Amino acid sequence: MRLEKSWTILGCAWLLAFAMYCPMFCIPPIVHILKDELHVTYADLGLLFSLPLTMLVVLAIPAGFFSDRLDAHRAAGIGAIVLAAGSLMRCFSKSFDLLLVLTGVYGVGYSMILPSLPKLVGHWFPREKVGLATGVYATGISMGCTVPLAITLPLIFPLTRTIGGTFFLWSMPAVAAVVLWWVATRDSSLPSRPVNAPPLHGTTGRLRLPWRNRNLWLIALLLFLDNAHFYTWSAWAPKLLTMKGAQPELAAFIASVRGWASVPAMFLMPWASYKTGLRKPFIWGAGLVLVGASWSVLHITVPLSWPLMVLVGCATSGTFPMILALPLEILPTQSIGLISGTILSIGYIGGFAGPWLAGYVVDSLGNFDVAFLFLLVMAILWAFIGLLLPETGSRARQVS
């Protein structure tokens, strides 16, 4: 019964993760339409896209504390209701200011959900399956980021020919997630971790303030760099490709290849990590891949962008579930909701700052050169942090 319930929880978490990102990632393909209809700048649209991440930065720590004190299942369910309501209300916004406010409401729900998901996984799955379970629901995030990029402009927008109608259709996964979460997973209070479960690496017998832990800051900075790359590439790759000469529909589809490649990477990279018993080479290796990608994207032609998007998707998303699982592997677990909230709050600064600053750069300079050179520097730092993190794979535990 516990096994059946754990996979039901994970399936609902997948749908919830998918629904969280659809209202955000339907924006990049229609940037040119939003700019013309709302009479705003690219920096404004970068802010609109990344505002839910801004809300996460502000609210992740109290949301994590709330998840610890209440219940991760209820916290995620309440967040789903707020997210669906904010996303639906965006359909009726007639001005950019109102659209920004309602996107902020959607961001509040988003901020309540994300810190609760690692805690749910940590309680419903044994330690050896945490990476796999994290990879499963993380593919929901990846699909929520990918499907809207691929089909919003050619399929969804033509159905209504309005921005509000597009937002409405992309709110439907959130509505479905709310219903399924409260119906299929009712009576799913978190079980206690078994008393004979092995202690997690780095866990001590007494509770320490999580922000005094060096590894917490390394993980948070690594998530910051991952998000800066992921959301900047996601938000502006379509625009960059149109500036290289691609039609908007083709540019959006090429950009979505990054997301399609990330789905198998989210399974294969953690699987390979567990098979080899090593984590660090996959993390610093992804940083080196992004060093090359950030430099080459400024110089290659549109046809060569297809394999480049595959590499970017594998590097940013293949390591994402590993980063999310690191707190469960090397940090104290007594307050994992607060720890996750702290890491998410710091890490997602990169998610909102990257797209906004890239939009400001293109407004000011007319190109993305400075933005992607800055991503190159951050990729070098990514690889360096990968070397500093402790090895948490089975080989390191066997040596210990």
* Confidence band for 210, pLDDT divided at 50, 70 and 90: low
% of the chain with per-residue pLDDT over 90: 41
Q: Does residue 137 surpass a pLDDT of 90?
A: no
Please report the beta strands in 149-238, taking only residues with DSSP state E, as ranges in sequence order.
none
CATH code matching the domain that covers 2-187+210-399, chosen among 1.20.1250.20, 3.40.50.740, 1.10.150.120, 3.40.50.300: 1.20.1250.20
First-to-last alpha carbon distance for the chain, in angstroms, is 35
Out of 106-120, 157-171, 219-233, 333-347, least confident range: 333-347
Decide if pLDDT at 223 tops 90: yes
Q: What percent of the chain has pLDDT over 70?
A: 89
Q: Are 178 and 84 in contact (CB under 8 A)?
A: yes
**H or E element in which residue 123 lies:** helix 116-124
Count CB neighbours of 397 within 10 A. 13
User: For the segment 351-397, what is each residue's pLDDT rounded down to a tens digit?
Assistant: 878 888 888 888 888 888 999 999 999 999 999 999 999 988 777 65
pLDDT at 207 over 50: no
Q: How confident is the model at residue 199 (pLDDT cuts 50, 70, 90)?
A: very low
pTM: 0.76
Which residue, among 389, 356, 354, has the nearest Cα to 374 in the 3D structure? 354
Calculate helix-pair angle for 214-243, 320-330, nearest 10 degrees.
Answer: 170
Q: Which residues contact 62 (CB under 8 A, 6 or more apart)?
A: 341
Q: What is the pLDDT of residue 200?
A: 39
Q: Say if CB 329 and CB 392 are below 8 A apart.
A: yes
Closest to 221 (Cα-Cα) out of 138, 291, 293, 283: 283
Average pLDDT over the chain, rounded to an integer: 85
Question: Where residue 221 falls among pLDDT bands split at 50, 70, 90?
Answer: very high
pLDDT band at 187 (very low <50, low <70, confident <90, very high): low
Q: What is the pLDDT of residue 367?
A: 87
The residue among 106 and 260 whose pLDDT is bigger is: 106
Spell out the domain ranges in the chain: 2-187+210-399
Please report the pLDDT score of residue 128 as a whole number.
Answer: 62
